[in-house]
A = this chain, B = another copy of it.
Amino acid sequence: MNYKEILKEIKPKESEIKKVHEIAKDAISYINKIAKEEDINVEAKLVGSIAKGTWLSGSSDIDIFINFSLEEDEDYLKEKGLYLGHNCSEHLNGIAEEHYASHPYLTSHINGYYVDFVPCYKIKTAKELKSAVDRTILHTNYIKKHLKSEKQKDEVLLLKKFMSEVGVYGSEFKVGGFAGYLCEMLILRYNTFEETLEAAANWKNKTVIDLEDYKTDKLFKDPLIAIDPTDKTRNVGAALTKERMSEFIIASRNFLNSNEADKIKFFYGIDKKETFEEKMSEKEIHDQISPYELYKQFKDRKTKTITIKFNIPDISVDSIHPQLKKTQQSIEEKLEDNDFSVFKSDYWTDEKKIGVFIFELSVYKQSKYYIHEGPRVWDKKACENFIKSHGEDYYILEDKLVLNKERQFKTAKNFIKSVLTKENIHIIKVGKNMKGLLIDTYTWQSIKHLLKDESLKENTDFLKFLENFLNPGQLLKR
């Protein structure tokens, strides 16, 4: 199939390439100049998808890594790194904001682009690694060295775009999908976009990608084992969830089984019109997924859907997602422990202020009593203790002492309201930064009322989330 038209859309044009590299060049030379003047022994370098020439048009941040010598201590690196970043940002009239991942870094909005200034150590091999970001330079070097032809870079772009539209692109926790570096590795392994999909269509659990033939795959138990060419003890596929990998496999099969007209659609979002020129406006998307339509769908499912809306803490996006997920899953588990059945649950956040948990229950109410099982009658001592602590209302089921015990929580609402208090929050596992805010700011609402919430009913991302909650798997098909 001919991907020319698609590449025309997704490949950065000469003007974009020129502009991006100009910004990068200006920043790098300014940093290196200042460093030299102030006797700071560093070297700024362009890394990431722009350095590798594998970024999708309009999508990428400019990653500038400021390399410190391995002898410098971390406080020095942090202080001088941020200092150089701020200095450069000011010089280029940027608007800067500090961030903290495993490492502090600075993002600056310069001339229409986000530029990340990341202090790191100048390492030559993975063995010298001092922080997680240090690898980026090794990765950039490896890809620049092995992925040389324009043709190969085009194949990477097609793969990234396809993955993006079927919802499996991005290694951040929120997605749990394929990292850009992993996409590049896949093209190095399978040559082309189509050959990658053909391979993926037949992937088995624990598929191994071992470009440098390290044979260290036995170290890993992940469903996709993609051994880092720059570090044989690391699996680049570790952040990929089994679910995202499975979705990529199914989407690959669906793509390969489609005719050319349908294949093209895999490079466009399912809610978008057929060409980029005719992209839907936010308003059009919103009209298509109206809160009322969503409510009707929930109602039709004859479940009871309850939601918890609360304020999220002011921590990095990388940190908030795992904390939200952990909390939501813990509440789901405890609901099940209390004999409520969760048909489906999920969380959503605007990554700024609001977090939402959503629990769709097929069993929302329970009986007053449950059968509490005691010891078998053969164990006389255990029976005596059971009766001592539970009283005389026991009876026998099979060969066990049992009794009807009153449930602490007769409705799921009751359970949640009781648990989201200072006294009982210990019953669930809550992300460490969100405990207080969850208790203090949460509001409990049925889905009907949440869909009327002023801060959410116009939020396209939230409505899309609900649409996907109700109709998962749509992205896998065209």
Cβ-defined partner of A395 (8 Å) among B201, B303, B472: B472
User: By the criterion CB–CB under 8 Å, are A476 and B395 in contact?
Assistant: yes
User: By the criterion CB–CB under 8 Å, are A223 and B366 in contact?
Assistant: no
Question: For A365, what are the chain B residues with a Cβ–Cβ distance below 8 Å?
Answer: 302
Copies of this chain present in the complex amount to 2
User: By the criterion CB–CB under 8 Å, are B368 and A302 in contact?
Assistant: yes
User: By the criterion CB–CB under 8 Å, are B473 and A396 in contact?
Assistant: yes
Cβ-defined partner of A473 (8 Å) among B362, B369, B395, B476: B395
7 smallest CB-CB distances across A and B, nearest first, come from A395-B473, A362-B367, A395-B472, A302-B368, A246-B377, A303-B367, A246-B399
Cβ-defined partner of A247 (8 Å) among B249, B343, B362, B396: B396
User: By the criterion CB–CB under 8 Å, are A393 and B473 in contact?
Assistant: yes
User: By the criterion CB–CB under 8 Å, are B477 and A392 in contact?
Assistant: yes
User: By the criterion CB–CB under 8 Å, are A250 and B399 in contact?
Assistant: no
**Additional A-B contact list (5), CB under 8 Å, known A243-B398, A250-B401:** A242-B398, A243-B396, A243-B399, A303-B368, A343-B369
CA A339 to CA B363, docked complex, whole Å: 10
Among A61-69, A144-152, A202-210, which stretch is in contact with chain B?
Answer: A202-210
Q: Which of A300, A378, A400 has the most CB of B within 10 A?
A: A378
Task: List, sorted by A's number, 7 A–B pairs whose CB atoms are closer than 8 Å.
Answer: A203-B378, A242-B398, A243-B396, A341-B363, A343-B369, A343-B371, A395-B476
Q: Which residue of B lies closest to A473 (CB)?
A: B395
Question: For A376, what are the chain B residues with a Cβ–Cβ distance below 8 Å?
Answer: 205, 246
Known A-B contacts A242-B398, A395-B476, A396-B247; A368 and B301 likewise in contact (beta carbons under 8 Å): yes
Q: For residues 231 through 260 of chain A, which have their beta carbon under 8 Å from a beta carbon of chain B?
A: 242-243, 245-247, 249-250, 253
Q: Mark contacts of A369-383 with chain B using CB atoms, 8 A cut-off: 1 yes-contact digit, 0 otherwise.
A: 111000011101001
User: By the criterion CB–CB under 8 Å, are A302 and B246 in contact?
Assistant: no
Question: For A302, what are the chain B residues with a Cβ–Cβ distance below 8 Å?
Answer: 365-368, 410
User: By the criterion CB–CB under 8 Å, are B339 and A362 in contact?
Assistant: yes
CA A374 to CA B151, docked complex, whole Å: 39
Does A348 count as interface, using CB distance less than 8 angstroms?
no
Question: For A397, what are the chain B residues with a Cβ–Cβ distance below 8 Å?
Answer: 243
Does A173 count as interface, using CB distance less than 8 angstroms?
no
Does A220 count as interface, using CB distance less than 8 angstroms?
no
Q: Which residue of B lies closest to A395 (CB)?
A: B473
User: By the criterion CB–CB under 8 Å, are B243 and A301 in contact?
Assistant: no
Q: Which residue of B lies closest to A205 (CB)?
A: B378
Does A394 count as interface, using CB distance less than 8 angstroms?
yes
Question: For A245, what are the chain B residues with a Cβ–Cβ distance below 8 Å?
Answer: 399
User: By the criterion CB–CB under 8 Å, are B362 and A399 in contact?
Assistant: no
